[in-house]
Amino acid sequence: MSLNRPWRLVLLGVTVYLIGLLINFPAARAYAWLAPLRADAPVRITARGLSGTVWKGAAEQLTVGTIPLGRVNWSLAPAALLTGRLAVDWSARKDEAYLSGRAAVAPGGRAGLSRVEGRLPVGELLRFAPP
């Protein structure tokens, strides 16, 4: 029984270390490492001026498809991990437009947005209208 105790402490230490690495992992480095996955994504996402960490950071310019979102800030929602989902609270600001919400990915690849709110000038809103 006494041999199990040191191994439990080692496992706990390694787990805490790995969580610490994730929390402090630079967003710019993660973006660079994920380049091969981004190339195969159905929607192209590009970011410039990344700062902060994977856990909490910002991009000076984020573009999704052909839509420039401007400055985007994010923060991972740790409580969602307890339900098996990866969730991020985000906000985007470009000129007079402002959007915020939560993006989440569930097991099986289901993704969605919730709590979305914002302010868009009519000219920007018309870009999303069907022809």
E-strand ranges in 2-125 read 45-52, 56-64, 67-76, 86-94, 97-105, 111-119
Question: How many other C-beta atoms are found inside a 10 Å radius of the C-beta of residue 50?
Answer: 20
CB within 8 Å of 103: residues ≥ 6 apart = 87, 88, 90, 111, 112, 113
CA angle 77, 83, 89 (to 5 degrees): 20
What are the pLDDT digits (tens) for 57-81? 999 999 988 888 899 999 999 888 8
Which helix H or strand E contains 2, and what residues bound it? none
In this prediction the pTM is 0.75
Q: Residue 1 — pLDDT band, cuts 50, 70, 90?
A: very low
Question: How many other C-beta atoms are found inside a 10 Å radius of the C-beta of residue 59?
Answer: 24
What are the pLDDT digits (tens) for 19-58? 888 889 999 999 898 877 777 777 888 999 999 999 999 9
Name the burial class of residue 103, with classes exposed (0-12), middle (13-18) and buried (19+) by CB atoms within 10 angstroms of its CB.
middle
